[in-house]
Amino acid sequence: MVVSFESSKQITGEALSGAEIRDICDSLKENSVRLLSVRGCQLSDRDFGRVCRGVSESRSLAQLNLNLGVVSSGGRAEQLAEALTANRSIQTLFLHGSPLLDAGLVTLNTALSTHPSLVSLDLGDCMLGDEAIQLICGMLPPDGAKSGLKELTLSANPAITTKGWARLAIAVAHSSQLRVLNLDYNPLGDQIAGMLAVAVASSRTLEVLDLEGTGLTNQSAQIFLDMVENYPTCLRVLVLAENAISPELQQQISDLLSEGEEDEDRDTEAHGSSVTMREKPAWLPHSNPNSQMVLMSSGLGESFLGETDL
């Protein structure tokens, strides 16, 4: 299905025709498209290279969605890295469900970590491991360093070990930019959740933490409850669904976060500003490219565009 309107081109789950490839490339080169989504689409390596060359030349493209297997090989990762190195405008990049492995992220690392505009990155279900996590931590620079990611998605990367998650928790604790962290559907368990609670308590920016389906118990929930009850935190949304956590504990945490959000809303209204939060999309395994998805912007200002794939 194709959805096309001014400044946006979205094609989902189709084999792209030569005419569609030409239209995409022309729009990129003419700087007439801000959002390009070819989620779950099939295209030849030659046509993928043509799209990448268009991305490298575009000065208008702000959001690029290559979810669900479009970056399907090391060669395509190299082509995308070249495009991102030349591009200066992309703010949001979706690679969810791409079989990158650590080697693919090694290929992309320099282009991602040095991109001047990138603030939101989805690497969910990309078969990543600890080597990739070490590189991702470099995209979360500490206070006083260069700007880094504001939103990071690492859903469903079960090969990452406790050591890798601990490294990420340290980076999150010291990141001066990160506001949204999605770790859903990873086998984290209570030990890693405890590390993340310390990171959240230390962070001065993190507002959203998604831990849905991560193997947590009441032990983790009690730690988070203690944190939000007794310590100041920026956290506004904590997702604990599909864990072995009692509804009562989840409700207590939710109520405390809501109280803090109401207080903050009153403060922001007094200063004439407000922040709206990201609406969490339904979980989509990359094996089903025809599933429906509605992903709203993260509320991090004009740098994030809304995306709707239906």
pLDDT of residue 293: 29
Q: Which pLDDT value is given to residue 210?
A: 98
DSSP H helical segments within the chain, as ranges?
A: 18-29, 45-57, 74-86, 101-114, 130-137, 162-174, 189-202, 218-230, 247-270
pLDDT score at 147: 74
pLDDT at 263: 53
pLDDT at 3: 40
| pLDDT over 80 at 150, yes or no | yes
pTM greater than the 0.95 cutoff: no
In this prediction, residues 55-79 reach a mean pLDDT of: 97
pLDDT value of position 216: 98
Average pLDDT, stretch 287-291?
A: 35
Q: Report the pLDDT value the prediction gives residue 51, as an integer from 0 to 100.
A: 97
Alpha carbon distances (Å) from 53 to 19, 24, 61, 291, 295: 16, 11, 13, 29, 27
Q: What is the mean pLDDT of residues 124-134?
A: 98
State the average pLDDT over residues 124-133: 98
pLDDT grade for 260, boundaries at 50, 70 and 90: low
CB-based contact 242:212 (threshold 8 Å)? yes
Considering the chain, what percentage of its residues have pLDDT values greater than 70?
A: 80
Mean pLDDT of 163-176: 94
Question: How far is residue 56 from each of residues 25, 94, 301, measured CA to CA in Å?
Answer: 10, 16, 24
Looking at residue 195, its pLDDT comes to 96
CA distances from 271 to 260, 274, 299 (A): 17, 9, 18
Asked whether residue 300 carries a pLDDT value surpassing 90, the answer given is: no
Amino acid at 20: E
3-class SS of residue 104 = helix
Q: What is the pLDDT of residues 70-104, one digit of tens each?
A: 999 999 999 999 999 999 999 999 999 999 999 99
What value does the mean pLDDT of the chain take? 85
215 vs 287 pLDDT, higher one: 215
Higher pLDDT among residues 172 and 298, named by residue? 172
Cβ partners under 8 Å of residue 199, min gap 6: 169, 170, 172, 173, 206
Task: Point out which residues pair with 121 in neighbouring strands.
Answer: 93, 152
Task: For the chain, give every domain's residue range.
Answer: 2-267
- 177-212 pLDDT, tens digit per residue, is 999 999 999 999 999 999 999 999 999 999 999 999
Backbone φ, ψ for residue 216 (5° rounding): -90, 160
What CATH number labels 2-267?
3.80.10.10
> Span 157-171, mean pLDDT?
97
Q: How many CA atoms lie within 13 A of 26 on its CB side?
A: 6
Q: What is the DSSP letter of 282?
A: P
pLDDT, greater one: 105 or 303? 105
pLDDT value of residue 144:
58
Query: Token digits for 171?
Result: 């980076």
pLDDT at site 45: 96
For residue 77, the model assigns a pLDDT of 98
In this prediction, residue 148 carries a pLDDT of 87
Three-state DSSP at 291 gives: coil
